[in-house]
């Protein structure tokens, strides 16, 4: 053994000063001293979170009249202070049971213009004189401004029409009719007004429903 090597005597520490996890007074395994939070969520709901939302709202009631926009334009008015922009909207409204109307509304905001047009359409509503099969009794023809339209009964063929005339016929509830534009006008508002003028002619027609 080397002379420079020194023997270090062993030191025994008392058991109450040993660094580490303290042993409980009652003995046994060490316990976790960290406070535990009790999870009380869902104790009375089968483990699920309680439903904090209120009762489900009822479905929205269906409006009396359906509406559809056939024309939406931005118009300009020139004043001394400059240009002022507004929106012009044409709306067709109907209950699909024989009532239909066309309305026009103008406002600086699009939703407000649509609301005005819808009120105007309800004000100008007409009741179409239809047959038992929701068709028309005979051929009708009408003209409004530069638009000219002819509407004929079409048994078993459904609605054969285009442009805004089809919108008027659908919202009126007609099923077996055909329509044709005899003019080259692309103005949706004029075409819709021509269809309304044609359907007005049926007011003077007396229809006999067979028993």
Closest to 168 (Cα-Cα) out of 146, 183, 149, 145: 149
Q: Quick check: 123 and 115 in contact, CB under 8 A?
A: no
Helical H segments across 66-139, by residue range: 110-123
Q: Is pLDDT above 50 for 9?
A: yes
Q: How many CB atoms lie within 10 A of CB 163?
A: 19
Per-residue pLDDT at 137: 92
Q: Is pLDDT above 70 for 176?
A: yes
Average pLDDT, rounded, for the chain: 81
Domains along the chain?
66-126 (3.30.160.20), 127-204 (3.30.230.10)
Q: Is pLDDT above 70 for 197?
A: yes
pLDDT, one tens digit per residue, over 119-162 is 999 999 999 999 988 999 999 999 999 999 999 999 989 999 98
pLDDT, one tens digit per residue, over 22-68 is 555 555 545 555 655 555 555 555 556 666 665 565 556 788 899 99
Beta bridge partners of 147: 144
77 vs 38, more confident: 77
Work out the pLDDT band at 207, boundaries 50, 70, 90. Answer: confident
Per-residue pLDDT at 64: 86
Q: Is pLDDT above 50 for 1?
A: no
Is-above-0.75 flag for pTM? no
Average pLDDT over residues 94-122: 95
Structure tokens at 93: 């409204």
Closest to 93 (Cα-Cα) out of 124, 61, 134: 124
Q: Is pLDDT above 60 for 81?
A: yes
Q: Is pLDDT above 80 for 187?
A: yes
């Amino acid at each position: 053994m080397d002379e420079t090597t020194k023997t270090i005597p062993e030191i025994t520490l008392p058991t109450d000063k040993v660094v580490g996890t303290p042993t409980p007074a009652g003995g046994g395994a060490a316990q976790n001293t960290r406070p535990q939070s009790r999870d009380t969520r869902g104790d009375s709901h089968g483990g699920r979170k309680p439903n904090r939302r209120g009762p489900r709202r009822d479905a929205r009631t269906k409006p009396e009249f359906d509406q559809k926009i056939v024309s939406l334009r931005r118009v300009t008015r020139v004043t001394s202070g400059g240009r002022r922009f507004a929106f012009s909207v044409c709306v067709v409204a109907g209950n699909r049971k024989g009532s239909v109307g066309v309305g026009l509304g103008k406002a600086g905001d699009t939703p407000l213009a649509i609301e005005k047009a819808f009120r105007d359409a309800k004000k100008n509503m007409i009741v179409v004189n239809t047959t038992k099969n929701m068709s028309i009794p005979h051929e009708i023809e009408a003209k409004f401004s530069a638009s000219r339209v002819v509407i004929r009964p079409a048994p078993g063929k459904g609605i054969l029409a285009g442009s805004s005339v089809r919108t008027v016929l659908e919202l009126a509830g007609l099923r077996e009719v055909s329509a044709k534009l005899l003019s080259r006008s692309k103005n949706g508002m004029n075409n819709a007004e021509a269809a309304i003028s044609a359907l007005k002619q049926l007011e003077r027609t007396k229809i006999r429903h067979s028993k």
